[in-house]
Structure 1
């Protein structure tokens, strides 16, 4: 059976790659797995049929035969674990790559999402003006440490892995804020990630999905 993932019927970002289905598409492209995309409207996300596969009414989800998954990190880990291309063969290197998946989602992304929430969901609140600089400084501290760890390397630990895919996907969400440009090493790191053919295919397909254009493939 063909893998099926869900995505916003119309993404809030207009198809610019910030929604989490993009990182799942990218993982499938890196591993050469064919897949189909089922669009889900905001209303349908809260209906029983979708809640049966994602208990929190979000996207993406992943279906492959009897297997149903939700949470982009879990889906990426599953794809990387079952298909070659995103995890090293060496056991220790493999464990380190998996650690970077968790670091991206648990250490780096929460502060970035806090910024998004403050700007777009709480922008009219009286405390937002004072809160935004505090959030930005917390993000800068995470980026400073991440940039120091990356150094002059192309990737976080040896060859490109699922850890890099997840981290680059998280950092992409910072681009509209301008914070990423304050850290040239990380900006270059994201640019290298975007230059990968698999990312280009994933991005082109999700953009076409949102604009109604023919897919890239």
Structure 2
């Protein structure tokens, strides 16, 4: 059984957004059994930092193998299931390209928008962050060409990563001018496997609230 390490508790705002959702979604789509273990959100323990040098989650354990970074975890799970990664060379190449596009070409700009919105004390920086993200989203929308899924003509690991990146943009209203991407996010996040792991995450952190209150 695969073990996914996540935090033992997070505040309300990030619930439903912690990135252990990505490998959990991959497992749920592939029909692979998985379980969770936890590390404290803070302070970071020496044991946690020994496993993940930035003190982040997720960490995936598969027997004697451990991986970290959500993209690496999802790719590892995809190697175990054709449901997430086609076997033909062309399909695999397209899936890999879209996985790295999601994580390297789209997500950094969405994270920059979030950072500026939450932390930057200079409001003048916010329009530039939004402009950069919007330019990248417009390019993706133009290339989408009516497709139902990101790559290979069907659901794959690329959809797990791209849809999870784009749903943050959607939640902030950044997909309002990109109807194909907005429809894509709505469809992907309505999938039973996504709903299952999303609701599990929220419930798990709510249960942690109850445990803390009982102490």
TM-score in terms of structure 2 length: 0.90
Structure 2 residue 124 is matched with structure 1 residue 130: yes
Q: For 1:90 and 1:114, how far apart are their aligned partners in 2?
A: 36
Q: For 1:40 and 1:200, how far apart are their aligned partners in 2?
A: 24
SS state of the match for residue 58, structure 1?
coil
Q: Which runs of 5+ in 1 are unaligned?
A: none
Q: For 1:207 and 1:151, how far apart are their aligned partners in 2?
A: 34
Q: What's the Cα RMSD here?
A: 1.6
Match of 1:190 in 2: 185
Match of 1:159 in 2: 154
Of residues 197-206 and 9-18 in structure 1, the stretch that sits farther from structure 2 once superposed is 9-18
Structure 2 residue 20 is matched with structure 1 residue 28: no
**Deviations 1:151-209, CA, capped at 9 Å, x for gaps:** 21111231111111110011112233211222111111001101212111111211111
Match of 2:144 in 1: 150
SS state of the match for residue 146, structure 2?
coil
Q: For 2:92 and 2:195, how far apart are their aligned partners in 1?
A: 25
How far is the alpha carbon of 1:15 from its aligned partner?
A: 5.8
Match of 2:212 in 1: none
How far is the alpha carbon of 1:116 from its aligned partner?
A: 1.2
Match of 2:55 in 1: 57
Change (3 A) 1:15 1:205: farther
How far is the alpha carbon of 1:8 from its aligned partner?
A: 2.3
Q: For 1:97 and 1:108, how far apart are their aligned partners in 2?
A: 15
Q: Which runs of 5+ in 2 are unaligned?
A: 209-215
Change (3 A) 1:13 1:146: farther
SS state of the match for residue 175, structure 2?
helix
SS state of the match for residue 123, structure 2?
helix
Q: For 2:139 and 2:199, how far apart are their aligned partners in 1?
A: 32
Whether the 8 Å CA contact 1:7–1:39 is kept in 2: the answer is yes
Match of 1:209 in 2: 204
How far is the alpha carbon of 1:14 from its aligned partner?
A: 4.3
How far is the alpha carbon of 1:9 from its aligned partner?
A: 2.1
Whether the 8 Å CA contact 1:97–1:161 is kept in 2: the answer is yes
Whether the 8 Å CA contact 1:6–1:38 is kept in 2: the answer is yes
Match of 1:115 in 2: 113
Whether the 8 Å CA contact 2:10–2:41 is kept in 1: the answer is no
Number of residue-to-residue matches in the alignment: 207
SS state of the match for residue 182, structure 1?
coil
Whether the 8 Å CA contact 1:155–1:164 is kept in 2: the answer is yes
